[in-house]
Amino acid sequence: MTPFLKMHGLGNDFVLFDARRVPIELTREQARHIADRHFGIGCDQVIVIAPGRPGFDAIMKIWNADGGAVESCGNASRCVAKLLMQETGKSSVTIDTEGGPLTCLDAGGGAVTVDMGPARLAWDAVPLAEALDTNSFSFTLDGERHQASAASMGNPHCILFVKDAETAPVADLGPRIESHTLFPQRTNVEFAQVLDPKRIRMRVWERGAGITLACGTGACATAVASYRRGLTGREVELLLDGGSLFIAIRESDDHVLMTGPATLSFKGEIAL
């Protein structure tokens, strides 16, 4: 039996395996089974914490619920960071991911701040399939035009600004935009309603996971897109289905700082 932890960040939930002492190599099929809420443990993403190379406390490997490997996960990074800080007694740790290095700080009160680095805004860094202005562009889906922004936070995001996030067709448009040909690596899709210069209501369709209660990288990408359009300032609260994340775009270098909780749900064992 292999031990695991079940954790979540605002309801965006994860199954975490520690492979720093005993190696764990998951297949796509295993990850999909673990994530299955009926036949497995159930989660949005599966996380493996592996030994870090020099300069890093650990490596974080990520699989979505569909079994596909992904580059970044903001909420999971807070969970991993909290575990590492509790284990070592340090107030900051650095995590290596496919989407880039993450520096994480103890923010107090059970919260963790993650320096997500600067958003990647060039069309080919998102990536998009053609050269477009990622600040504002339009695309056609089943004969209907949609206006959007795009950004990468180590993984791709398409942000749609809507009048009412509560009634936005997340379940309908989300999967269709995710697999649109404009996004060669597929994309996360955010539906964002700017409430005032300091607050955004956001709902999300996550690539490979569907509707989730929160998406850390999606909150960061949405804050950046809103700031670029002059709709909000550098500091903004993202109101997600699972609670609030606080995003700050640092003036000195445009690094995106995400602050939010990380919670342990339970521990268990599974036969892999």
Q: What is the set of active-site residues?
A: 73, 215
CB 118 within 8 A of CB 254: yes
With the CA atoms of 60, 66, 146 and 118 taken in that order, what torsion angle do they form, in degrees rounded to the nearest 10?
Answer: 0
Residue type present at position 244? S
DSSP string, 67-128: S-EES--HHHHHHHHHHHHHHH--SEEEEE-TT--EEEEEEETTEEEEEEEEPB-STTTTT-
CB 105 within 8 A of CB 91: yes
Distance of alpha carbon 61 from its chain centroid, rounded?
13
The helix or strand, by DSSP H or E, that contains position 46, with its residue range, turns out to be strand 45-51
Q: Are strands 58-64 and 12-18 parallel, antiparallel or unpaired?
A: unpaired
Of residues 48, 60, 120, the one with CA closest to residue 94: 60
